[in-house]
Amino acid sequence: MKLSGILCSMMMLFLGNMNADAQDIFAEQREGWMQKALGTTPELMHETVRPVSVVKAVKDDAAFQGWRYEPVQETVEAALYERNFKDVKEITLDFGRHLTGYFTFHTKTLSRCQDAPVRIKFTFGELPAEMNTPLDPWKGSLSRAWMQDETVTVIEVDKDIAIERRMAFRYLKIELLGASPDFDFAIDDVRFDAVSSAGQVQTQLNDDAPEIIRQINDVSIETLRECMQTVFEDGPKRDHRLWSGDLYLQSLANRYSFRNFDLVKHCLYLFAGLSTDDGIVISNIFEHPVPHPQYGSYCLTYCLLWNSTLLEYLKDTNDMETALDLWPVARRQMEDAISYVGADGIFNQWARGSFVWLFFDWRDGLDVNTPMQGATIFALQQTYELAKMLGKEKEVASWPSLEKKMRSAARSRLYDSRKGYFVSGEERQISICSQAWMIKSGVLSAKEGQRALKTVLSLNESEPESVKMPGTPYGTHYLIDAMLTCGMETDARDYLIDYWGGMVRKGADTFWEAYDPNDDFLSPYGFSPVNSACHAWSCTPVYFIHKYPELFQK
């Protein structure tokens, strides 16, 4: 049996264990999908990278999260490789850019003879503050183990030692925890095997593109490159896995950068192969030890974005064979969403009596009822468009009238026509998210959309407490998208430059998972060091900049 066959059988065992009695609606297709997923696993490209400088941490209130690094004069050779590490004790190296991969170092005896092991602590980090904030006692709501500090006991010097765990970082702190008084040694030949499947960028900016746009474009590309591993990962530091909502945005950014559509295909097939017995695409997937979903992570917004990813993939590649093969999965996601829509044409999160996760942004307290009405309408349009491209519209003939009904229900039940914006939930919450998804789904005309966004954004200026703004580049992506959809081109450009450019000005060389210009320490997980500073869903400026060259590149 080939390796892929063995993996496939192991995977079937995993899935089989999940729900032994349920009937698997995709039983006949599943193995074929999984084979196609495994058959499109990309090769990683390797590059050996060495540190470019020694740096010292500076506490600075003006710097992002209060810390920055300054290079010191001495070279890495002089400061580390040629010096007794018992004198060095602690050093921080800058590798010059964000890297993902595997670390190796060498130690050498300088005098006398090793008579005891040596203990060294290595701390890898993406951001200066992450490197300089005490981690313990741990305050985060996610695992402490995401932090990249490792202690190595060197039993034998004069050898290469590799740290097995994959790291994502720019800075590396090395500290001596214990050594013998009876011999001297140095750490030398510190190196990093950087990996990515992205390859070469296939697009270029106009020569006269403004400098800030060039910088934002470059940082977007670096972010995506680092997240392109054997799947489109959400973040190489955290969570190391494939999320379908992130995949949608990555596939758009990929179109205008690496154009690596095989990786999109690989990911689409993984989701299909690992769907539940009743055909639901699970929100996220781990690759190791064998591909498996995060069981139970049912996020309907992400199921629907899988459909949009398939549609975009088809438009990018004309690969009808794949799209036809995966069409039943797309139809199933849509049918599942439709089961939440009441006779009144309103999406009801509790229609089935059990919890369904509807993710739009990590902003605390965001009401998702109205955004979900918009997202469902948008998904109906997108999945119907896919059906038409595949000649399958007869199978879904009832969708256009449902879409119409949902649009008019949205207007009559959720829109405050006097104030000119959408509200959400019993508390009539005002959010960017509600306006963005109602504009994306075409429920508001361009003129109405402009009024809604302008009113809500100006409310945010005068009474910030009354408006839920996105707290991540993910939610902000849909705001820019909505602005462009309803003809607010200049606002979209200014907002993008202000928001993503704000990260660049604060030193980002990859874009961050969470960002609020007014709160450097915002974290969905209760502690900012565990945020991912190179995050897939933040890479979409490259998409906007290239899709609208007249607007962004002049």
| Binding region for ligand RAM (CB under 6 A) | 234, 239, 243, 245-246, 359, 513, 537
CA angle 34, 38, 42 (to 5 degrees): 145
Instruction: Considering the complex, state which of residue 152 and residue 534 has its C-beta at the smaller distance from ligand RAM.
Output: 534
Burial of 507 (C-beta count, 10 Å sphere; 0-12/13-18/19+): middle
Helix (H) or strand (E) holding 354: none
- Alpha carbons 346 and 482: distance in angstroms, whole number: 22
Instruction: Considering the complex, state which of residue 245 and residue 273 has its C-beta at the smaller distance from ligand RAM.
Output: 245
> DSSP letters of 97-108?
EEEEEEEEEEEE
Q: Would you give the DSSP letter of residue 296?
A: T
Minimum separation from the CB atom of position 239 to ligand RAM (A):
5
Minimum separation from the CB atom of position 521 to ligand RAM (A):
17
Minimum separation from the CB atom of position 539 to ligand RAM (A):
11
Minimum separation from the CB atom of position 536 to ligand RAM (A):
6
Instruction: Considering the complex, state which of residue 100 and residue 322 has its C-beta at the smaller distance from ligand RAM.
Output: 100
Tokens for 134, please give them: 């005490």
Instruction: Considering the complex, state which of residue 107 and residue 229 has its C-beta at the smaller distance from ligand RAM.
Output: 229
Minimum separation from the CB atom of position 181 to ligand RAM (A):
47
Minimum separation from the CB atom of position 506 to ligand RAM (A):
20
Q: What SS3 class is residue 156?
A: coil
Minimum separation from the CB atom of position 388 to ligand RAM (A):
29
Minimum separation from the CB atom of position 492 to ligand RAM (A):
23
- Alpha carbons 494 and 228: distance in angstroms, whole number: 29
Dihedral, 396, 397, 403, 408 alpha carbons, nearest 10: -160
Instruction: Considering the complex, state which of residue 187 and residue 514 has its C-beta at the smaller distance from ligand RAM.
Output: 514
Instruction: Considering the complex, state which of residue 83 and residue 240 has its C-beta at the smaller distance from ligand RAM.
Output: 240
Give the phi and the psi of residue 347 in degrees, each rounded to 5: -70, 130
- Alpha carbons 476 and 317: distance in angstroms, whole number: 28
Q: Which residue is nearest to ligand RAM (CB)?
A: 234
Residue with token string 């697009």: 203
Minimum separation from the CB atom of position 147 to ligand RAM (A):
16
Instruction: Considering the complex, state which of residue 399 and residue 512 has its C-beta at the smaller distance from ligand RAM.
Output: 512
Instruction: Considering the complex, state which of residue 122 and residue 543 has its C-beta at the smaller distance from ligand RAM.
Output: 543
Instruction: Considering the complex, state which of residue 103 and residue 537 has its C-beta at the smaller distance from ligand RAM.
Output: 537
Helix (H) or strand (E) holding 18: helix 3-18
Contact 309, 318 (CB under 8 A): no
Helix (H) or strand (E) holding 457: helix 446-462
**Residue environment code for 216-228, b if the CB has 16+ CB neighbours within 10 A, otherwise e:** bbbbbbbbbbbbb
Tokens for 102, please give them: 């595997």
Q: Would you give the DSSP letter of residue 281?
A: P
Instruction: Considering the complex, state which of residue 327 and residue 537 has its C-beta at the smaller distance from ligand RAM.
Output: 537
Three-state SS string across 42-82, please?
CCCEEEEECCCEEEEEEECCCCHHHEEEEECCCCHHHHHHC
User: What is Dmax (Cα atoms) for the chain?
Assistant: 84
Nearest Cα to 372, choosing from 437, 295, 316? Answer: 437
Minimum separation from the CB atom of position 376 to ligand RAM (A):
18
